[in-house]
């Protein structure tokens, strides 16, 4: 059955190449592991890119490279090929006059996509291209599948996502997105470590899913015969560490949410969360600004850039607005007094969404109206503060107003990028908030939180006042790499299974 499926997408090109491979196997080790490249194309260009033909001749530099053959031009007794290694491409020149005749004949039958190694000295061609004049060349790894067409490359989005390896071979722009992703994550680590934060790892499998309002994935532990949930957020564990006295902690890791897929949602996504004792949501906003600026500089080298054709400016101090203020600022048809009336909000939301809101809780209605009318209009970075307490069950309430959480969310290009607050460290208040969540869950809200008794117990030992924040790494990478879809910044985004490959 398996063999059947493997053969299913065989074609005559693959057949030809298998026959070539069979011949290679008869002569030598087909996939040898002895070739050691001494140079990389990027370094060669960097080091010798400014040397002219005479200078190259004078210094007589010999290099040894290995990589994938991307282009091949055979002209009788001499040929050119383009070799691509990790970072760049370089041209090689193979003349029958310079190498063994049998080897040259072999080379003529090697395919685009094959991985080869070559040694030779650098020179410039008539058209002034830096090129390696090959004196020894060998096939290192035979490629059985044809690469996409050399000019158009791979453009089918679905294939780019499903066969990312092929996308990375063919599309330098795609590779560059992922190089930037790595730089961004590295930059964030530096920001945190430089500020005295300790990088930690907390469980990915939770007995009680917590730290966010979201549907979890469920799995089962056989030996203990118990259900386990893939984590929706690390928050409650990181704050347990704050209770334990690790006073500045951060974690960059995956969260899992059992929700729909979209250009902004993948079921597993990467979050940075960080917590600092004796800090509050204002200090978290400052740190967030600093992290984003450093990440932009360290990856793309600028604080201003385009996202999907429109300028984004991270240089100016980020705007900061109350949630209700923001609604009114961007939707002047509303009055502040209206936004305190549930019946007004219900009728507005019904108009906007063409369905009756599922809740009559004031804070939830206000948040929903904000999401409907305002969120997408927040293009340049804007902190939204003064969230209703009902939608912030883990956040401290303001000292002078028990209805308002000391919480912010950061929006950029109309999307939520970060969420932080002064953490709720009053164990009795937290117990009450969990109880309210449980009531909502019992009333049918699948996303409401569970009661986490161990977390309350931890708070009962005393947690210092703490500020905490989460930043969506995938969305940050989208922003800084001008990527329209979250799938463009995740190597292997979740896809429905292919009908014919694994069935």
Partner RNA sequence: GGGUUGUUAGCUCAGUGGUAGAGCAGCUGGCUUUUAACCAGUUGGUCGCAGGUUCAAGUCCCGCACAGCCCA
- Cα–Cα distance measured from residue 290 to residue 264, given in angstroms and rounded to the nearest whole number: 24
Q: Is residue 48 near RNA by the rule CB under 7 A?
A: no
The one segment of 78-86, 286-294, 383-391, 468-476 that binds RNA by CB under 7 A: 78-86
Q: Going residue by residue from 154 to 193, which x/- string records binding to RNA, judged by CB under 7 A?
A: xxxxxx-x--------------------------------
- Cα–Cα distance measured from residue 125 to residue 95, given in angstroms and rounded to the nearest whole number: 13
Q: Which is nearer to RNA, 82 or 425 (CB)?
A: 82
Longest Cα–Cα distance of the chain, Å, equals: 89
Q: Is residue 151 near RNA by the rule CB under 7 A?
A: yes
Residues of span 241-260 touching RNA by CB under 7 A: 260
Q: How many helices (H) and strands (E) does the chain have?
A: 16, 19
Evaluate whether 160 touches 127 at the Cβ level (below 8 Å): no
Residues of span 450-489 touching RNA by CB under 7 A: 484-485, 487
State the minimum distance, in angstroms, from the CB of residue 108 to RNA: 7
- Cα–Cα distance measured from residue 128 to residue 124, given in angstroms and rounded to the nearest whole number: 5
Q: What are phi and psi of 500, to 5 degrees?
A: -110, 0
Q: Is residue 150 near RNA by the rule CB under 7 A?
A: yes
Would you call 37 helix, strand, or coil by DSSP?
coil
The one segment of 95-103, 232-240, 331-339, 380-388 that binds RNA by CB under 7 A: 95-103
> Which one of 49, 496, 502, 503 is in contact with RNA (CB under 7 A)?
496
> Which one of 64, 87, 91, 195 is in contact with RNA (CB under 7 A)?
91
Evaluate whether 409 touches 384 at the Cβ level (below 8 Å): yes
Q: Is residue 218 near RNA by the rule CB under 7 A?
A: no
Decide: residue 281, CB within 10 A, 0-12 exposed, 13-18 middle, 19+ buried: buried
Q: Is residue 82 near RNA by the rule CB under 7 A?
A: yes
DSSP at 277: E
Q: Is residue 97 near RNA by the rule CB under 7 A?
A: yes
- Cα–Cα distance measured from residue 210 to residue 267, given in angstroms and rounded to the nearest whole number: 16
Residues of span 355-414 touching RNA by CB under 7 A: 355
Q: Is residue 76 near RNA by the rule CB under 7 A?
A: yes
Q: Is residue 103 near RNA by the rule CB under 7 A?
A: no
State the minimum distance, in angstroms, from the CB of residue 341 to RNA: 21
Size of the site for RNA (CB under 7 A): 61
Q: Which is nearer to RNA, 130 or 291 (CB)?
A: 130
Q: Which is nearer to RNA, 286 or 353 (CB)?
A: 353
- Cα–Cα distance measured from residue 48 to residue 63, given in angstroms and rounded to the nearest whole number: 11
State the minimum distance, in angstroms, from the CB of residue 483 to RNA: 10
Taking the alpha carbons at both ends of the chain, their separation in whole angstroms is 10
Strands 62-75 and 115-124, sheet pairing? antiparallel
Q: Is residue 80 near RNA by the rule CB under 7 A?
A: yes
Q: Is residue 353 near RNA by the rule CB under 7 A?
A: yes
- Cα–Cα distance measured from residue 6 to residue 18, given in angstroms and rounded to the nearest whole number: 14
By C-alpha distance, which of 232, 245, 248 is closest to 200?
Answer: 248
Site residues for RNA per CB under 7 A: 9, 11-13, 16, 20, 71-78, 80, 82, 91, 93, 95-97, 109, 111-112, 123, 125-129, 131, 145-159, 161, 260, 262-263, 353-355, 484-485, 487, 495-499
């Amino acid at each position: 059955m398996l063999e059947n499926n493997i053969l299913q997408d065989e074609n005559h090109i693959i057949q030809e190449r298998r026959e070539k491979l069979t011949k290679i196997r008869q002569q030598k080790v087909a996939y040898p592991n002895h070739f050691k490249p001494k140079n990389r194309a990027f370094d060669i260009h960097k080091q010798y890119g400014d040397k002219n033909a005479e200078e190259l001749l004078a210094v007589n530099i010999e290099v040894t490279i290995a990589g994938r053959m991307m282009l091949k031009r055979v002209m009788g007794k001499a040929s050119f090929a383009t070799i691509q290694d990790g970072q760049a491409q370089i041209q090689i020149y193979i003349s029958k006059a310079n190498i063994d005749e049998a080897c040259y004949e072999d080379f003529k039958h090697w395919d685009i996509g094959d991985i080869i190694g070559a040694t030779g000295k650098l020179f410039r061609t008539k058209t002034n291209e830096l090129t390696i004049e090959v004196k020894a060349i060998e096939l290192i790894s035979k490629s059985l599948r044809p690469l996409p067409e050399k000019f158009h490359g791979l453009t089918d989005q679905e294939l780019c996502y499903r066969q990312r390896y092929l996308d990375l071979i063919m599309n330098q722009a795609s590779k560059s997105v992922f190089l930037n992703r790595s730089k961004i994550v590295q930059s964030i680590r530096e920001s945190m470590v430089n500020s005295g934060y300790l990088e930690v790892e907390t469980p990915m499998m939770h007995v009680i899913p917590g730290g966010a309002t979201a549907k979890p994935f469920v799995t089962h532990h056989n030996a203990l015969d118990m259900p386990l949930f893939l984590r929706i957020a690390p928050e409650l564990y990181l704050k347990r560490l704050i209770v334990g006295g690790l006073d500045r902690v951060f974690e960059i890791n995956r969260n899992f949410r059992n929700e729909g897929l979209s250009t902004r949602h993948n079921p597993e996504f990467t979050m940075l969360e960080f917590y600092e004792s004796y800090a509050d949501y204002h200090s978290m906003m400052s740190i967030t600004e600093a992290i984003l600026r450093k990440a932009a500089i360290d990856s793309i080298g600028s604080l201003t850039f385009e996202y999907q054709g429109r300028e984004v400016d991270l240089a100016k101090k980020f705007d900061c607005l109350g949630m209700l203020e923001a609604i009114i600022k961007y939707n002047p048809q509303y009055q502040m007094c209206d936004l305190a009336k549930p019946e007004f909000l219900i009728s507005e939301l019904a108009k906007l969404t063409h369905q009756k809101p599922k809740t009559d809780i004031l804070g939830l209605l206000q948040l929903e109206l904000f999401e409907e009318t305002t969120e997408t209009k927040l293009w340049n970075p804007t902190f939204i503060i003064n969230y209703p307490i009902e939608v912030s069950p883990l956040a401290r309430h303001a000292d002078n107003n028990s209805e308002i959480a000391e919480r912010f969310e950061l929006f950029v290009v109309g999307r939520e990028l970060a969420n932080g607050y002064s953490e709720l460290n009053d164990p009795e208040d937290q117990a009450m908030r969990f109880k309210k969540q449980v009531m909502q869950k019992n009333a049918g809200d699948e996303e409401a939180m569970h009661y986490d008794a161990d977390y309350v117990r931890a708070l009962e030992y005393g947690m210092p006042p703490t500020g905490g924040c989460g930043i969506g790494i995938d969305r940050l990478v989208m922003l800084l790499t001008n990527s329209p879809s979250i799938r463009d910044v995740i190597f292997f985004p979740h896809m429905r299974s292919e009908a014919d490959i694994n069935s």
